[in-house]
Chain A
Amino acid sequence: DAGVTQSPTHLIKTRGQHVTLRCSPISGHKSVSWYQQVLGQGPQFIFQYYEKEERGRGNFPDRFSARQFPNYSSELNVNALLLGDSALYLCASSLVTGNQPQHFGDGTRLSIL
């Protein structure tokens, strides 16, 4: 079975632009979470979606938004990009919400120039 897939794998943007990152969960998984990992640090939680509803939000500005589609895939949108948004963006899926092991993709590496 395919794991969590993310696209694109790498992306270069300039300050002020916006970006859309995409995630396809493992088949049958209904929960998707997004994380940001800055170089040298552990991942930080951004959002969780379950059954197309937001179930959790981390301490990120309103420039960050996300949504989940009827097929449970998800998009993360970031507006007005800043240099500090340069990071690895990780998507994770699980069968349901709550205390479930999460399965991570290998991320999208976003570089802001």
Chain B
Amino acid sequence: DAKTTQPNSMESNEEEPVHLPCNHSTISGTDYIHWYRQLPSQGPEYVIHGLTSNVNNRMASLAIAEDRKSSTLILHRATLRDAAVYYCIPNTPAGANNLFFGTGTRLTVIP
């Protein structure tokens, strides 16, 4: 499984954009990059995933480096509800749904 490196914590002011980085230099060519977040006292929540191209959905954008060794989750306007631990997870598509969570990045949003 690909190893990931994420900052332990980040802070953002409310209503400003947030860029959450992730390094996954050992990712294989077929691994998708998934992002989940976990709000306090809740189970993880799917945010977005992609393979090579940048991806957008209603929650966030995912920018994937051309060499795929890193990616960045972009929250366009942070709200207090976005305060959570964000996990970057390379995931093999080869049949199993086993996500390997690391320690993630704890995002604090300052009002």
A contacts, CB < 8 Å to B: 4, 31, 33, 35, 41-45, 48, 50, 55-56, 58, 90, 92, 94, 97-107
Segment with Cβ contacts to A, from B15-23, B67-75, B76-84, B93-101: B93-101
Residues A98 and B43 in contact, CB atoms below 8 Å apart = no
Q: List the B side residues contacting A106 at CB < 8 Å.
A: 41-43
CB distance from B42 to the nearest CB of A (A): 5
A104 adjacent to B95 (CB under 8 Å): no
What's the minimum C-beta distance from A59 to chain B, rounded to whole angstroms?
Answer: 11
Interface pair B43/A56, CB less than 8 Å apart: no
B42, B44, B102: residue with the most chain A Cβ atoms closer than 10 Å:
B44
A106 to B39, CA, bound (A): 10
Task: Please tell me which one of the listed residues A98, A103, A105, A107 contacts residue B93 in the complex, with CB atoms under 8 A apart.
Answer: A98
Residue picked from B85, B93, B101, most chain A C-beta under 10 Å = B101
- Contact mask for chain B residues 33-75; partner A; CB cutoff 8 A; 1 contact, 0 none: 0100000011111100100000000000000000000000000
From A4, A33, A105, A107, B97 is in contact (CB under 8 Å) with A33
Structural contact, A102 and B96, CB atoms closer than 8 A: no
Distance to closest chain A CB from B81 (angstroms):
16
A-B contact pairs, 11 of them (CB 8 A): A33-B98, A33-B99, A58-B98, A90-B44, A92-B43, A92-B99, A99-B91, A99-B92, A102-B46, A104-B44, A106-B41
Q: Are A102 and B97 in contact (CB under 8 A)?
A: yes
Cα A53 to Cα B90 with chains together (Å): 24
A90–B38 CA distance with the chains assembled, in angstroms: 12
By beta carbon, the residue of chain B nearest A50 is B97
Q: What is the CB-to-nearest-CB distance from A28 to chain B, in angstroms, rounded to a whole number?
A: 16
Contact A48-B43, Cβ < 8 Å, known A42-B102, A42-B103 = no
